Amino acid sequence: MTQLPDGRFVDDAPYSDSTDLSAPERSDMDASTWVLVWRKFKRHKLGLISGIFLLLSYLMLPVAGFIAPYTPNERSADYLYAPPQSVNFWHEGEFIGPFVYPTTATADLVNYRWTYETDETRPMPLQFFCEGATYNLFGFIRSDTHLFCAPEGATIFLWGSDRLGRDVFSRILYGAQLSLTVGLIGITVSFALGIFFGSIAGYFGGKTDWLINRAIEILRSLPELPLWLALSAAVPSNWGPVAVFFIISIILGILDWPGLARAVRSKFLSLREEEYVRAAEMMGAKPGRVIRRHLLPNFMSHLIASATLSIPAMILGETALSFLGLGLRAPAVSWGVMLNDAQNLASIEIYPWTAIPMLPIIFVVLAFNFLGDGLRASLDPYKS
Amino acid sequence: MTPLLDVQDLSIGFGPSEPVVRGVSFQVMPGETLALVGESGSGKTITCRSVLRILPETARIHGGTINFKCNGKAINLLDRSERVMRSIRGDQISMIFQEPMRSLSPLHRLGDQVSEVLRLHRNMRPADCKKTVLETFERVGFPDPARVWRSYPFEMSGGMRQRAMIAMAMVAKPDLLIADEPTTALDVTTQAQVLGLIKDLQKDTGMSVILVTHDLGVVANMAESVVVMNKGRVMERGPAAAVLGAPAHGYTKKLFAAAPMIPEVAAPAREGKHDDLILHLRNVSKTYTMRAGGWSKPMTVTACHEVDLSLQRGKTLAVVGESGSGKTTCARIALGAETPDDGGQVLFRPAAGATPVQINAMSQAERIAFQRQAQMVFQDPYSSLSPRMRVQQALTEPMEIHKLGTKAERREKAAEMLRLVGLDSSMLGRFPHAFSGGQRQRLSIARALTLDPVLLVCDEPTSALDVSVQEQILTLLEDIRDRAGLSYLFISHDLAVVARIADEVAVMRQGVVVEQAPPDTLFYNPRHPYTRALIAAQPEPDVNRPIDLTLVAKGAGTPASWPEQFRFEGIAVPALTELEPGHKVRCHV
């Protein structure tokens, strides 16, 4: 700073007027929107961890049979309501690798329950890449190799067994195949309907908009649970588990679309006011092109975030229906079906591990919520 | 005399990156107005917000002191507790924000909002509170303070809201008022009145004012001393008369050169030719029917009324008016985006001597041909380019829509257009959000030019830009017009911007053209009170030419308050009379 005689201060640093007109002003923004969203999302730790957790969960689905030591409906008739077993590494202070202690069941006829005794003198090492019951890898490759299984004469019930002696851990892995995908199929149905109705309501306005809005309001005013019940009660009871599964996810999707359609409609209305949309219209672009090239890409990210947030509702819906015995039915395995077995309060009290399927539901629903939250927070990368 | 506020060596940054404000120092004397001048990104708003410590959460103050004389002794505002700051905010230092639309709560009555300051700081009885607030309302120029007490912000116009905001800032009689671009969102006549009000209030109460602005004209009218900021550093600071009279720093000089001014005109212009009209709006009116809701009758709103405009090929016709004057409606009608009411006609002649196309009744084929010949440049450079499209996609889209050329030819044309607007073709693969407002506006002009149009409608293309960038864009537009023989329909709210680019100006007010002439004639001999008010309200960056508020007040009111000769109500307007060749005024003769 230099002081001039008239009392003012002038900066001495050399000043040049020339600027490079083509240089990006914000070099940190010099990337596609998805890259910017990803950069911002990376900083959202909880969302990132949830995203990785969900990714691993979904990647696990096709190979669930390989990871699970048992198949879902494989019974061990001698081990009904077996408690969770631990996998140990040290026996009497000596490292001998992963092993289990064998257990034997005795019927306690006084209290009318099963009690288990662990024989802690005989460590039995786990077997790896062993042969067991056959299952389908990726749904079509028949295989009987399991990642790990119990040695002859022992069992490996990591999270206990249920009333028919089926391994809860294995059933949870198999149940994930249905419970996690029901949300995806449901959301696809809901997406298709929501985008279709939301965008015609938003684009054409007027009478169409009025009709769709009233339809949405009527759908949303119906009490959800009784409606699910009514619709799934209408599914013929002689249908196979796969058909029931598809019908259930479609029912969930049909009841979920109004929320999404509203989101699409309001986003549509606000995006239509953007000047780039008006510019395209003035250049002579037809409505189809405006929607495809300008509107959809710009609200896709918002849709994905809101979809992520509505998947948990679907998962919970499936669980609720199956829990009430109106959704998926045995022999299909889903988390809701498993909880159906745990309906009996007395059995939860004596055999608390039968309620373990609640844990994956809680974790998955929370993870979807955190992920959706993180996505929503990073969707607008232009402001920072 | 000790300064009221003494900022020394202030540095503020966001996160680990380079500080955005570096080594800023200035003092504010009691009763003085200090102007913080700079363009967007200069750090002026961050600096003034740091005084109240209302910075964004991620901002960190790296160093410096802000000493404020509070009850006779100086305290450093940067190391006081939040509690002390709360007692200072609103009481000894208060602030007016830029957006009057967003800075008042829409759910509270104005009376409650304004009296909250007194309840928090003065512990007054409700009756005394109300009395003080009503007095303040009267002082800031509300004719009926009791009604304002009861009304909600959305019942008021922008200027009135800004008055209410000023009342809120003034009611506790602060020692220092920080006004962050208080008039940027307002029309020029309203701006003049609000500035006059702040000045009057300052004279009454003896408070100091920090005025943050980008407009040297506002500085010249208001400030005693000036701090010019650029990229977070002070470029020049000193008394306003000295800095504005003879800028010493290169940056101040540049700002000064870019400031739009209404020129001194020695003689009226000669009448322009009107023999080869590219665009002709004939007797165009547009009324909208608004559903009033419930069972009440639908209301009709007149956006524009009996507008006659003609644009000579290769020339620029400017339509000037405040918000709501109907200028944008005219532009949309001219482009065929709206149809005029029955009886109106819009004629477009693509080439000299060609048969005119009637835009308001085009066939599909004519419309497609017209869309290639007439294009539009939009106001907001931040929303006129899709954030999902690379520059190349945005520039080639018009050609794709009209199925012109091969892929390689389109790319070549896009690169050529970039060069035409002064940019480098390396930008093609980039995304628009990496660029500044000025660069984006260039892109948007390039996009409008890819179809080789003959008519360009510019809807306030520079009003969202900094003055120095505004100047560059205007130069670019003039250059392109002369090189490519384009004709412009130029919409603006700013007479000074129009002064340099237009060949003819139509001044609009409440949907009607009140005066129409070449700019020189208009500035030499403005006849209509509204035009006079617009010219008088334009702040000039010259301390010796203050705004003449009486002239502004005379013309800025409703048409019913104009002198007998010009007065009208509703749409019962007098005819547009040609007073001298090429100079039309709406008046009773």
- For the residues of A46-76, what is the DSSP string, one character each? HHHHHHHHHHHHHHHGGGHHHHSSS-TT---
B9-46 per-position pLDDT tens digit: 999 988 777 888 999 999 999 999 999 998 888 888 89
Nearest CB partner across the interface for B238, out of A7, A26, A275:
A7
Interface test with A, best of B397, B421, B425, B451 (most A CBs within 10 A): B397
Question: In chain B, what residues touch A280 (CB-CB under 8 Å)?
Answer: 397, 401
Contact A282 B431 (CB under 8 A): no
At A383, is the pLDDT very low, low, confident or very high (cuts 50, 70, 90)?
low
pLDDT (0 to 100) of residue B41: 82
Size of interface A-B (CB pairs under 8 A): 129
Contact A6 B431 (CB under 8 A): no
Mean pLDDT for A332-352 is 82
Closest chain A C-alpha to B383 CA, distance in angstroms: 5
Residue A309 has pLDDT above 70, yes or no: yes
Residue B148 has pLDDT above 50, yes or no: yes
Q: What count of other Cβ atoms lies within 10 Å of the Cβ of residue A223?
A: 8
Tokens representing residue B135 in the block: 């007095």
Residue B419 has pLDDT above 80, yes or no: yes
Q: Please name which of B519, B582, B540 lies closest in space to residue B318, comparing C-alpha atoms.
A: B519
B181 and B213 Cβ atoms separated by less than 8 Å: yes
Nearest CB partner across the interface for B426, out of A13, A22, A289:
A22
Q: In angstroms, rounded to a whole number, what is the distance separating the alpha carbons of residues B314 and B310? A: 12
Q: Please name which of B364, B374, B420 lies closest in space to residue B395, comparing C-alpha atoms.
A: B420
At A384, is the pLDDT very low, low, confident or very high (cuts 50, 70, 90)?
very low
Mean pLDDT for B547-553 is 83
Alpha carbon separation from B220 to A379, B30, B189, B258 (Å, rounded): 43, 19, 17, 15
A98-122 per-position pLDDT tens digit: 888 888 888 888 888 888 888 888 8
Contact A31 B431 (CB under 8 A): yes
Contact A382 B423 (CB under 8 A): no
By C-alpha distance, the chain A residue nearest B249 is: A10
Helices H / strands E in chain B, number of each:
20, 22
Q: Is B343 helix (H, G, I), strand (E, B) or coil?
A: coil
pLDDT over 70, % of chain A: 98
How do B316-320 and B504-509 pair as beta strands? parallel
Higher pLDDT, A343 or B42: B42
Question: In chain A, what residues touch B239 (CB-CB under 8 Å)?
Answer: 6-8
pLDDT (0 to 100) of residue A18: 67
Q: In angstroms, rounded to a whole number, what is the distance separating the alpha carbons of residues B306 and A57? A: 68
How do B455-459 and B487-492 pair as beta strands? parallel
Residue B300 has pLDDT above 60, yes or no: yes
Higher pLDDT, A304 or A48: A48
Contact B397 A283 (CB under 8 A): yes
Among A31-45, A206-220, B448-462, the least confident range: A31-45
**Which spans in chain A are helix H?**
33-42, 45-60, 64-67, 168-204, 206-221, 224-233, 241-272, 275-283, 287-289, 296-323, 335-341, 345-350, 358-378
Contact B233 A279 (CB under 8 A): no
Question: In chain A, what residues touch B451 (CB-CB under 8 Å)?
Answer: 283
ipTM of the complex: 0.79
At A181, is the pLDDT very low, low, confident or very high (cuts 50, 70, 90)?
confident
Question: In chain A, what residues touch B372 (CB-CB under 8 Å)?
Answer: 284
B446-469 per-position pLDDT tens digit: 999 999 999 999 998 888 888 888
Nearest CB partner across the interface for B248, out of A8, A27, A281:
A8
B483-539 per-position pLDDT tens digit: 888 999 999 988 888 888 999 999 998 888 999 999 999 999 898 999 999 999 888
Residues of A in CB contact (< 8 Å) with B are 1, 4, 6-11, 13, 15-17, 21-22, 24-27, 29-33, 36, 274-276, 278-285, 289, 293-294, 297-298, 382
Phi, psi of B215 (to 5 degrees): -110, 110
Q: In angstroms, rounded to a whole number, what is the distance separating the alpha carbons of residues B440 and B395? A: 12
Mean pLDDT for A76-93 is 83
Higher pLDDT, B130 or A73: B130
B227-259 per-position pLDDT tens digit: 999 888 999 999 988 888 888 888 998 888 888
Contact B371 A8 (CB under 8 A): no
Strand spans (E) along B299-405? 299-312, 316-320, 345-348, 357-358, 374-377
Contact B237 A9 (CB under 8 A): yes
Nearest CB partner across the interface for A282, out of B371, B423, B436:
B371
At A258, is the pLDDT very low, low, confident or very high (cuts 50, 70, 90)?
confident
Q: CB neighbours of A141 closer than 8 A, spacing ≥ 6? A: none
Contact B250 A284 (CB under 8 A): no
| β-bridge mates for residue B27, sequence order | B6
At A288, is the pLDDT very low, low, confident or very high (cuts 50, 70, 90)?
confident
Q: Please name which of B224, B192, B220, B194 lies closest in space to residue B209, comparing C-alpha atoms.
A: B224
Closest chain A C-alpha to B406 CA, distance in angstroms: 18
Contact B235 A275 (CB under 8 A): no
pLDDT (0 to 100) of residue B95: 92
Q: Please name which of A117, A123, A118, A119 lies closest in space to residue A94, comparing C-alpha atoms.
A: A123
pLDDT (0 to 100) of residue A90: 84
Nearest CB partner across the interface for B236, out of A11, A279, A285:
A11
A191 and A197 Cβ atoms separated by less than 8 Å: no
Q: Please name which of A124, A150, A143 lies closest in space to residue A70, comparing C-alpha atoms.
A: A150
pLDDT (0 to 100) of residue B457: 93
Mean pLDDT for B163-183 is 90
By C-alpha distance, the chain B residue nearest A271 is: B383
**CA Rg value for chain A:** 29
Q: Please name which of B342, B337, B335, B338 lies closest in space to residue B283, comparing C-alpha atoms.
A: B342
Global pTM value: 0.81
Mean of all residue pLDDT scores within chain B: 88
Higher pLDDT, B584 or B294: B584
Contact B383 A276 (CB under 8 A): yes
Nearest CB partner across the interface for B250, out of A15, A31, A275:
A15
pLDDT (0 to 100) of residue A96: 82
Q: Which residues in B553-567 are b (16+ Cβ under 10 Å) and which e?
A: bbbbeebeebeeebb
Nearest CB partner across the interface for A21, out of B233, B376, B439:
B439
Question: In chain A, what residues touch B433 (CB-CB under 8 Å)?
Answer: 26, 29, 33, 36, 382
Mean pLDDT for A285-309 is 83
